[in-house]
Chains A and B, each alone.
Chain A
Amino acid sequence: MASKPESAPSPAQGVGPLYRPDGEKPTATVSKEVSFDNVHVLPQTPQLIALLTMIRDKRTSRADFIFYSNRIIRLLVEEGLNHLPVVEQSVTTPVGTAYLGVKFEGKICGVSIMRAGEAMEQGLRDCCRSVRIGKILIQRDEETCMPKLFYDKLPTDIAERWVLLLDPMFATGGSATLAVEVLKERGVPEHRILFLNLIASPSGVAEFAERFPKLRVVTSFIDQGLDEKK
């Protein structure tokens, strides 16, 4: 028997609606569970797994890759936005009945970590029209091998906004950590930062979540084998 590699693979399990018996669900590798209150993994539905499968498959064309990743990003944005505050609002509906609803509260902005994060901007715009989007360029310094801030352009009133920080791949978390530091320097409180991410490594996300306990991470998948150099 071939021995398994050291790192345990992400769990494989039947994926599908709860009411369907396990035997009738197709098996797939789902996200690893982590026990941090500030890390939110999207529900591992068959639909999400199928989308992730498309973007992981090296045979997927660029157009398809963009299309399918956009769909996941929209799901991420929808989940992320649920962490924003709302206030009660009562309206009288067109049919004359009262509806106790809510109103979105607080201004938001997106900040993408260049270059990869820019790919998530369209998905954000699909859900939030005319959202302001700032940019941060972080590159690995060739000499020190540490991430280095090269450029940033952020809304001037960013300190008053909720920030959706966008970066699709999260390995060691070096760039994301630096980006959060930049935002905090500009006066954005940690609890108003939401980090939206497609695929994360468990060790990276654990370190990140511990380092910024008030920041919230919303990701679609945490796996074991994300290569550090992507």
Chain B
Amino acid sequence: MFGVNFGLIFSTQDSFYKTLSPEEHHRAHANDYDFDCPDSIDFDLLVHTLRDLKKGKKANIPVYSFADHQRQPQTTTLYSPRVIILEGILALHDPRIVEMLDVKIFVEADMDVCLGRRILRDVRERGRDIEGIVKQWFDYVKPSYTRFVEPQRSISGSCHPLLTLHRLNLTLTFQISLFRVVFKTGPLSVDMVVKHIQRKLQEKSENHTEELHRLGLIAAKVDLPDNVHVLPSTPQFVGMNTILQNPKSDQEDFVFYFDRLASILIERALDMTSYISTKVETPQGNEYLGLHPTGAVSAVAILRGGSCLETALKRSIPDCITGRMLIQTNESNEEPELHYLKLPSQIEEHSTVILMDSQMSSGSAALMAVRVLLDHGVAQERIVFVTCAAGERGLKRLVAVFSKINVIVGRIEEEGEPRWIEKRYFGC
């Protein structure tokens, strides 16, 4: 029912092992260090990371090397997923984490199976010898299981004796299609889990819609603020809009008039960039006090709609650095999902970032896009959001949340208008 969804990340507790001291490091290599004890895991960092991810912020996940028992200098950046799967044998150990989880699953396997799998894995993947593995098992792994892992059973929401990897439990906030791939097991228990997860996602989605609705109601009571610039309805502008909205206009006309209209929007957006006074000498030798743009202007297209505006953008700034982000609104629940992100380097230093989309209805994609820019250090004042058509409620919602951004709008559209401009522009 959710279709293909990339808004899912899989995070493992293993990334959060603490870096070992030289002495511990030595013990670890002698298989004399307890990796299954909660002390070996940096729960504070894990909690912090999960909190950020839950808030929709980006998070840097540490990279842990099992060969060196060291946290690596580089990190993996994760961005605003719709679903987070956290897995690890001690994933349910810390109550702060348990509180954040929407769905908790404890996966159990027979201890013999666990040992067998562990031996195979550690020999094949981690270059250990069998004596060491067995020593570790009886000295640390098994006692830790009894002491720390098994008690987690009682707090998890559902318990299923699923045969999986050696891993003993798995905690998740989850998405259905992948679940089926991961667990190939008896249909009954999986069905129960699936239903539970579906319900949780549905609830989340309803809350989200409700929240948007609430924001919209607050916003509906106020007029559009000064930082929203709706282009004046001049005869030419309305005329172009008429051609664009007439299904009988042919494709060639549509593209031509769209580019022309978008050029006006882009020129307007450039009024919002920063300028300084400058004196120049004219060819006649007179002095003129004019303006010069300061700092770099870059653009970010919200795909696919935003790329319709690129022709117009390049007409005014032929060498404009242009980033991309693919945000798709999930049609079943209207939630935006970030699927791809490529931003210009040092975007936080640019004097203006023009964020482009062809249309904006509820504003959820725009809200997400602005959030992404802010997370990358772009100040609100420097963001100019440009769109050819926008719903009034969505607009008010956007500027209620981000009051300092500038918004350039071509036309106020009907509430809930579906995205059709990009289809028409690209012809598919």
Contacts and interface: CB of A to CB of B under 8 A. Distances in A.
Given A47-B271, A91-B242, A127-B260, A225 B286 contact: yes
B158 to A, nearest CB: 44
A8 B282 CA distance: 18
Contacts of B226: 17-19
A19 B228 CA distance: 11
A227 interface: yes
B270 interface: yes
A3 interface: no
B245 A94 contact: yes
B388 to A, nearest CB: 13
Contacts, number: 128
A71 B316 contact: yes
A53 B288 contact: yes
A191 to B, nearest CB: 16
A99 B245 contact: yes
A230 B284 CA distance: 8
Contact of A17 (B234, B272, B281, B290): B272
B308 to A, nearest CB: 15
A178 interface: no
B418 A26 contact: no
Chain A, interface SS category: mixed
Interface string B259-278: 01001100100111101111
B280 interface: yes
B332 to A, nearest CB: 20
B224 to A, nearest CB: 12
- Interface size class, chain A: 35 or more
Interface in A76-100: 78, 81-82, 84-86, 89, 91-95, 97, 99
B293 interface: yes
Given A86-B239, A91-B245, A93-B245, A46 B291 contact: yes
A49 interface: yes
A79 B423 CA distance: 29
B277 A28 contact: yes
Q: Which residue, of B277, B315, B316, has the highest number of chain A Cβ atoms within 10 A?
A: B277
- Interface size class, chain B: 35 or more
Contacts of B246: 91, 93, 101
A95 B282 contact: no
B420 interface: yes
A213 B283 CA distance: 33
B283 A103 contact: no
B304 interface: no
A102 B238 contact: yes
B290 A95 contact: no
B289 interface: yes
Interface of B: 226-227, 234-236, 238-239, 241-242, 245-248, 256, 260, 263-264, 267, 270-273, 275-278, 280-284, 286, 288-293, 315-316, 318, 414, 417-418, 420, 424
Interface of A: 12, 15-19, 26-29, 45-47, 49-50, 52-53, 56-59, 67, 71, 74-75, 78, 81-82, 84-86, 89, 91-95, 97, 99, 101-104, 126-127, 129, 225, 227, 230
27 contacts: A15-B291, A16-B275, A17-B226, A17-B272, A26-B275, A26-B291, A27-B277, A27-B289, A47-B267, A47-B270, A50-B275, A50-B290, A52-B290, A53-B288, A58-B283, A71-B316, A75-B267, A82-B235, A93-B245, A93-B247, A94-B424, A97-B417, A101-B239, A101-B241, A101-B246, A103-B239, A129-B256
Would you list the 4 A-B pairs with minimal beta carbon distance, nearest first? A101-B242, A53-B290, A57-B280, A19-B226
